[in-house]
Structure 1
Amino acid sequence: MSKNKALVGAAAVVLVAAGVTWAVVGRGAGAVEVSVEKAARGPLEVTVSAAGSVAPGTKADIFPPAAGTLASIEVSEGQQVKAGDVIAVMDTRPLELQVAQAQAAYDAALAQADAVGQQQPSSADEKAASAAVTAAWSAYQAAAKQYELVSSGGVSDPAALQQAQTAVTLAQAAYDAAAAAYDAYKASVYDPAPEPKDPTIVEALEALESAKQQAADALAAAQANLAALTSAGANPTAVASAKAARDQAWAAYQAALAQQEKLARADTRKARSSAAAGVEAARQALEYAAGVLERATLRAPIDGTVLFNSATAALPASALGGSGGGAAGGEPVVGSAVSPASAPFTVVALDDLTFEAQVDEADVVNVKPGMKATVVLDSLPGRSFATTVERIGTASVVTPTGGTAFPVVFRLANAKETVLLGMNGTAEIVVESLQDVLSVPIEAVLDDAGTSYVYTVRDGKAKRVEVTTGRMTETRAEIVSGLTAGDEVIVGGLSSVKDGAAVKVK
Structure 2
Amino acid sequence: MRRVALLAVAAPLLLVACSGDSDKGITVRAAQVATVSEIVDAPATVTARAMATVTSPADGRVASLLVKDGEGVNAGTVLAVVDSPSAQQRLAQARQAAAATSTGAVRIPRVNLAGTQAQTDGAAAAAFAQSQAAIAQIPDPAARARAQTQLAASRAQYAATQAQARDAVRQFDAGLAGLGTALRSLTAAQGVQAQAAVAAAQATVAALTLRSPIKGTVQLGGTSAGASGNLSDLLGSLPGGGAGAAGAAGAAGAAGGAGTPAPSAAGGAAGAATPSLITPGALVGQGTAVATIIDVSALGLQADVDETDILLVKPGVRAKVELDAVPGATYEAAVAAVDLSPTTSSRGGVSYHVRLTLGAGRDTAGAVVATPRPGMSAVAHLLVRTARDAVAVRASAVVRVGSRNAVWVVQGGTARQRYVTVGTQGEDLVAILAGVRAGERVVVTGAERVHAGQKL
Instruction: Give the drift of 1:424.
Output: 2.4
Task: Report matched runs for 1:385-396 at 5 Å.
Answer: 385-396=332-343
Distance 1:500 1:423, change over 3 A: farther
Aligned to 2:10: 15
Instruction: Give the drift of 1:470.
Output: 1.0
Structure 2 residue aligned with 1:107, among 95, 99, 106? 99
Write the deviation string for residues 103-158 of structure 1: whole angstroms up to 9, x where unpaired.
Answer: 2122212112xx6xxxxxxxxxxxxxxxxxxxxxxxxxxxxxxxxxxxxxxxxxxx
Write the deviation string for residues 47-83 of structure 1: whole angstroms up to 9, x where unpaired.
Answer: 4332211112322232332355545544333332111
Structure 2 residue aligned with 1:312, among 199, 205, 228? 228
* Matches of 2:276 and 2:385, distance apart in 1: 46
Q: Which amino acid aligns with 2:15?
A: T
Larger Rg: 1
Aligned to 1:363: 309
Matched, 1:420 2:373: yes
Long gaps (5+) in structure 2: 114-173, 230-260, 362-368
Aligned to 1:286: 198
* Matches of 2:68 and 2:446, distance apart in 1: 61
* Matches of 1:454 and 1:61, distance apart in 2: 62
* Matches of 2:405 and 2:185, distance apart in 1: 85
Distance 1:319 1:333, change over 3 A: farther
SS at structure 2 position matched to 1:362: coil
Structure 1 residue aligned with 2:317, among 361, 372, 379? 372
Instruction: Give the drift of 1:394.
Output: 0.9
Matched, 1:80 2:80: no
Matched, 1:477 2:407: no
* Matches of 1:442 and 1:343, distance apart in 2: 55
Write the deviation string for residues 274-333 of structure 1: whole angstroms up to 9, x where unpaired.
Answer: 222222222221121121111122211111122332423999988845xx5136xx5443
TM-score between the two structures when normalised by the length of structure 2? 0.60
Task: Report matched runs for 1:414-453 at 5 Å.
Answer: 418-432=371-385, 434=387, 437-443=390-396, 445=398, 452-453=406-407
8 Å CA contact retained: 2:101, 2:187: yes
Task: Report matched runs for 1:18-417 at 5 Å.
Answer: 18-21=12-15, 39-41=31-33, 44-68=36-60, 70-112=62-104, 195-198=107-110, 265-266=177-178, 268-307=180-219, 308-310=222-224, 311-312=227-228, 320-321=269-270, 325-326=272-273, 331-334=276-279, 335=282, 337-340=284-287, 343-368=289-314, 370-378=315-323, 379=326, 381-399=328-346, 401-413=347-359
8 Å CA contact retained: 1:455, 1:490: yes
Q: Which amino acid aligns with 1:397?
A: T
Write the deviation string for residues 449-474 of structure 1: whole angstroms up to 9, x where unpaired.
Answer: 99754687x99x99787663513332
Aligned to 1:166: none
8 Å CA contact retained: 1:57, 1:411: no
* Matches of 1:336 and 1:37, distance apart in 2: 76
Write the deviation string for residues 388-428 of structure 1: whole angstroms up to 9, x where unpaired.
Answer: 341315141231x3333221212335689723212322334
Distance 1:366 1:24, change over 3 A: closer
8 Å CA contact retained: 2:71, 2:218: yes
8 Å CA contact retained: 1:75, 1:87: yes
* Matches of 2:333 and 2:273, distance apart in 1: 32
Q: Which amino acid aligns with 1:63?
A: T
Instruction: Give the drift of 1:96.
Output: 1.4
Instruction: Give the drift of 1:101.
Output: 1.5
Aligned-residue identity in percent: 25
* Matches of 1:430 and 1:196, distance apart in 2: 75
How many residues in Structure 1 have an aligned counterpart in Structure 2?
Answer: 344
8 Å CA contact retained: 1:375, 1:425: no
Distance 1:492 1:403, change over 3 A: same
* Matches of 1:407 and 1:23, distance apart in 2: 45
Long gaps (5+) in structure 1: 116-193, 202-260, 502-506
* Matches of 1:38 and 1:75, distance apart in 2: 69
Instruction: Give the drift of 1:500.
Output: 6.1
TM-score between the two structures when normalised by the length of structure 1? 0.55
Distance 1:23 1:412, change over 3 A: closer
* Matches of 1:332 and 1:360, distance apart in 2: 41
* Matches of 2:450 and 2:108, distance apart in 1: 102
* Matches of 1:57 and 1:437, distance apart in 2: 40
C-alpha RMSD over aligned residues: 4.6
Distance 1:432 1:20, change over 3 A: closer
8 Å CA contact retained: 2:36, 2:430: no
Instruction: Give the drift of 1:367.
Output: 3.8
* Matches of 2:426 and 2:19, distance apart in 1: 31
Write the deviation string for residues 209-243 of structure 1: whole angstroms up to 9, x where unpaired.
Answer: xxxxxxxxxxxxxxxxxxxxxxxxxxxxxxxxxxx
SS at structure 2 position matched to 1:351: coil
8 Å CA contact retained: 2:58, 2:84: no
* Matches of 1:37 and 1:336, distance apart in 2: 76
SS at structure 1 position matched to 2:56: coil
Write the deviation string for residues 317-364 of structure 1: whole angstroms up to 9, x where unpaired.
Answer: 88845xx5136xx54434354434x75533222123221111112222
* Matches of 2:194 and 2:42, distance apart in 1: 55
